[in-house]
A and B are shown apart, each in its own frame.
Chain A
Amino acid sequence: MKVTFPHMGHMWICLSAMLEYLGVNVVVPPPTSKRTLTLGARHAPEFACLPLKLNLGNFMEAAEQGADTILMAGGCGPCRFGYYAQVEHAILEDLGYNYRLVVLEPPRKHIGELLSKIKYITGHNSWREVIKGIYFGYQKARMVDDLEKQAHFLRPREVQRGSTDRAFKRALQEVIAARDPQDLPKVREKVRRIMGAVAVKPRPVLRVGIVGEIFTLLEPFVNYDLERKLGYLGVETDRSIYLSEWINDHLFLGLVRGQRSRKEACRAAAPYLNHFVGGHGQETVGSAVIYARQGYDGVIQLLPFTCMPEIVAHSVLPGISNELGIPVLSITVDEQSGEAGLVTRLEAFVDLLARRKGVVVQ
C-alpha cells in the first residue's frame, strides 16, 4: 500500500511526518506545478473550484510514482469540499486509474466508521502509537506555522533582500528532516538560531490581514506567493488560518490551549454574517472584523473562482469595509489567473494603504 494525499501548502510535512512515524509507505505528490494544474483542469468539471482541479492533478502525478491509495479528508457540507473525494475518485476511475479511496470524515452513524478507516491506513500500530503519530505531525505543523509567522514579520524589515527566504528555506529543511518526536526540542533550538540570524532594521511597515478560503491561503502556487510578494512591498502580513490552528479546531476540538480559535472569528462575524455558511465563510468575515479592530491597515480576501462560502463573505465584506473604515481587496484565483495582473493589483493596493497611513514604505 502506497498512500498519497493532495497538496495544500506545507501540509505534506505534517502529514508525511505522521504517516512515516507510523511506518506507512507514503508517496508525496510532486510539488504542485503548472503541469499539475493542466492535468487537473483538463479532466475536472469546468465549474468545479480550483482546489478540486489541483487535487486531481496531484493524484494523477502521484500515480506516476506508484501511489495506489488516496487519503483524503471529507465533510458534511454545504461546501463542495465534502464531496471532492467521491467526484475525484469517479473521474480517476473513468480515466483508468486504480486507486483505493480512504476518506476521513465525521461518521454518519457510528464513530467506528472513522476508526476502522484510520486502522486501515495505520495497520498494526496500537492506538497509543497512532495518537503519538498524530501529535508528532501536529507539532511539526506548529513549527512550520511559527516559521511562517516569523518570516512574515522579518521580510518587510530585512536588511538584505532575500535573507529571510534563505533562512526560512534552511529552517524548513531542518523541520522536514526530524524523524522522531524526541528530536524536536533540538530542531526547535536550531531553527530559532537560523531565523534569529536574519538582520533587520526598524522601518515603517504596513500591516495587512489575509483572509479567505483555506486552500488558497495555504498554497503558495495558487496565490502566487502572495505573502512573500507583500513582504517585499514592505507589508507585514497575518493570515486568518494556519494549518496547526485548523488541526486544533477540527481534530483536537480546541484542546490545545493558547492557539487562536475559529470561535472568536465566528462570534466577531455578527451582525454582518449571522449564520455559518460552510467552508470558511463566516471565519473570513469575522477575521476581517477582528483585523479592523486590531488596527490593521488593510484586508485581502483570497478565494477560488465560484467558491460558494467565500462569495457570500465577499458580498458582505464591502459593508464591513465601509463601517469599520478598512480597505478590503478581494482576489479571485482560477486556472486563468496571471501573475502580472496580481502584482499590479497588489502594488496599487499597497500604495493606497501607504497613502492613507501617510508613510513611505521601502
Chain B
Amino acid sequence: MKIGIPRALLYYYYIPLWRTFFEALGLELVISRPTTKTILESGLRHTGDDVCLPVRVAFGHIIDLKDRVDVLFLPRLVSIARREYICPKFLGFPDMVRQGISGLPPLIEADLNLYRRDSLYPFFSALGRNFTSNRFAIYLACRRAQQVQARYIQLLENGFFPEEARAALSGGTGEEQREPARGWPRVAVIGHPYNIYDPYISMNLLSRLARSGVHVCTADNLPETLVREHAARLPKHLFWSLGQRMIGAAWHYLQRPDVDGIIHVASFACGPDSLTGELISREVKRRGKPFLNLTLDEHSAEAGVVTRLEAFLDMMRRRPLLQVGGNGR
C-alpha cells in the first residue's frame, strides 16, 4: 500500500519519524516532489487569499500526491509540547484540506496532542490500527521510529541541515560528524523550518549564503533545552512551539560574540511571526546586531531578495573596518 506524505509544514522535522514508523509496518512511502512553480500555483488556486504561504504550499503538495497514492497521511498536529500549540492553521489543516480539495484518497488521520501528556504512543497506536491489528508490531514500529527521530535531532544539533541529516541517516551509520563549517561572517537564519529549508520558497537562501562564504546556522542546530532556557526569559510562557524555538534561538545567537548577524525569515501574514518577530527585532535593536527581516510570499522576486542579502552581507563585512577606526558605532 502506498501512503502519501506532503513535503510541507513539519515534514522537515518529522519525516524520519513518519518514514520509520510506516516502513516498519510494511507501507511504501510516497513523498511529494520538491516545491515547484506548478505545485505552488495549484496550492494558490485551492486556498483563500489570506491563507499564509506555507499552508498554500502544503495544499499544492497534497494535490501533487493525491492521484499517486492509496492513502494520504494527514495528521492533526495539535500540540508537540506540553501546554503549547503550533498554530491555529495546523489545528484546522485537515478540515481545510477536506473542504478545499476534491477527489482525495482515503485520509489517515489522528490527533497528535501532547498538550497534557508526553507519550506519542496513543497517536501512533491510532495510526497503526489503520493498517494492522498487531499491537506488538505497532509498539515496535513506534519505538523504532522514536529512536531514529532522536538520532535525527542529534544530527541537527551537530550542525547538519535536514537534507544532510536525512542523507546521513539513510547512508548507513548516521554517526559521521559533519565537517566543521567554516566561513565568515557567521549568520544565524531564524525562521520556520518549512520556510527556510524549502529551497523554492526561500529562494535557495541557505545555499546562497553558503556559496558566498557565509557560515550559516539555524535554530534547529541548538539543543531543545538551551532554546527553552532562553525563551523562558519572556514575561510569559510562549504558547507556540515554533515561536519558542525561534525566540530562544535568536536570543541565544544574540549573546554569542561569534555570530555576526541574524536573518529573520517570515512568511507574509504569519500570525505567530508577527508577534515573535516583533519581540525578536526589539531585542536585537537593544543589542545592536545586524538584522535582516525577510518576508516571503508567493510574489517574492528573487532579484529583490538577492539585492537585500548582498547589502546585508556587505554591511557585516565592513563593520570590523568601521570599528577599527571609530568608537565601534
Q: Which residues of A contact B (CB under 8 A)?
A: 45-49, 74, 76-80, 82-83, 86-87, 89-91, 94, 103, 108, 272-279, 281, 305-309, 311-316, 318-319, 332
Contact = CB atoms under 8 A, between A and B. Distances in A.
Contacts of B277: 45
B96 to A, nearest CB: 4
A311 B89 contact: yes
A294 to B, nearest CB: 22
Contact of B88 (A47, A87, A91, A277): A277
Contacts, number: 123
Interface string B77-92: 0100001111111011
A273 B238 contact: no
Contacts of A76: 83, 239
A33 B94 CA distance: 39
Nearest to A330: B48
A78 B96 contact: no
The 10 A-B residue pairs with the shortest CB-CB distance, nearest first, are A77-B239, A312-B92, A78-B85, A47-B274, A308-B88, A45-B278, A319-B99, A308-B271, A315-B96, A277-B92
B99 A308 contact: no
A90 B99 contact: no
B236 interface: yes
B48 A309 contact: no
Tell me which of B269, B270, B273 has the highest count of chain A C-beta atoms within 10 A of its own C-beta: B269
30 contacts: A45-B278, A46-B274, A47-B268, A47-B270, A47-B273, A47-B274, A48-B278, A78-B88, A78-B239, A80-B272, A80-B274, A82-B239, A86-B234, A89-B235, A108-B83, A272-B95, A275-B111, A305-B50, A305-B269, A307-B271, A308-B87, A308-B88, A311-B52, A311-B89, A312-B89, A312-B92, A312-B96, A313-B92, A314-B50, A315-B100
Contact of B86 (A78, A80, A90, A311): A78
Given A305-B50, A311-B89, 12 more contacts: A47-B266, A47-B269, A48-B274, A78-B85, A78-B91, A80-B271, A86-B235, A311-B88, A312-B88, A312-B96, A315-B47, A315-B92
Interface string B216-239: 000000000000000000111111
Interface in B41-61: 47-48, 50-52
Given A78-B91, A277-B88, A278-B88, A315 B48 contact: yes
Contacts of B76: 275
Contacts of B89: 277, 308, 311-312
B311 interface: no
Contacts of A86: 234-236
B51 A311 contact: yes
A319 B48 CA distance: 13
A312 B84 CA distance: 19
A89 B272 CA distance: 17
Contacts of B274: 45-49, 80, 306
B275 interface: yes
Interface string B259-289: 0000000101111111101110010000000
B279 A332 contact: no
B48 A311 contact: yes
B240 interface: yes
Contact of B92 (A82, A87, A281): A281
A332 B51 CA distance: 12
Interface majority SS (helix, strand, loop, mixed), chain B: mixed
B88 A309 contact: yes
Contacts of B234: 86
Contacts of A79: 88
A311 B50 contact: yes
A281 B89 CA distance: 10
Contacts of A306: 50, 269, 271, 274
B96 A49 contact: no
Contacts of A45: 274-275, 277-278
B88 A318 contact: no
Contacts of B91: 78, 275-278, 312
A90 B235 CA distance: 10
A5 B269 CA distance: 27
Contacts of B271: 47, 49, 80, 306-308
B55 to A, nearest CB: 9
Tell me which of B47, B99, B282 has the highest count of chain A C-beta atoms within 10 A of its own C-beta: B99
Contacts of A91: 278, 282
Contacts of A46: 274
A87 B283 CA distance: 12
Tell me which of B87, B95, B282 has the highest count of chain A C-beta atoms within 10 A of its own C-beta: B95
B237 A108 contact: yes
Nearest to B111: A275
Nearest to B286: A94
Tell me which of B87, B94, B238 has the highest count of chain A C-beta atoms within 10 A of its own C-beta: B87
Contacts of A77: 84-85, 239-240
B275 A332 contact: no
B132 to A, nearest CB: 25
Nearest to B269: A306
Contacts of A74: 236
A46 B266 CA distance: 12
Tell me which of A46, A77, A318 has the highest count of chain B C-beta atoms within 10 A of its own C-beta: A77
A48 B271 CA distance: 7
B236 A318 contact: no
Contacts of B282: 90-91, 94
B92 A78 contact: no
A245 B51 CA distance: 30
B279 A87 contact: yes
A320 B238 CA distance: 34
Nearest to B86: A78
B87 to A, nearest CB: 6
B251 to A, nearest CB: 14
A319 B88 CA distance: 19
Interface in B76-129: 76, 78, 83-89, 91-92, 94-96, 99-100, 111
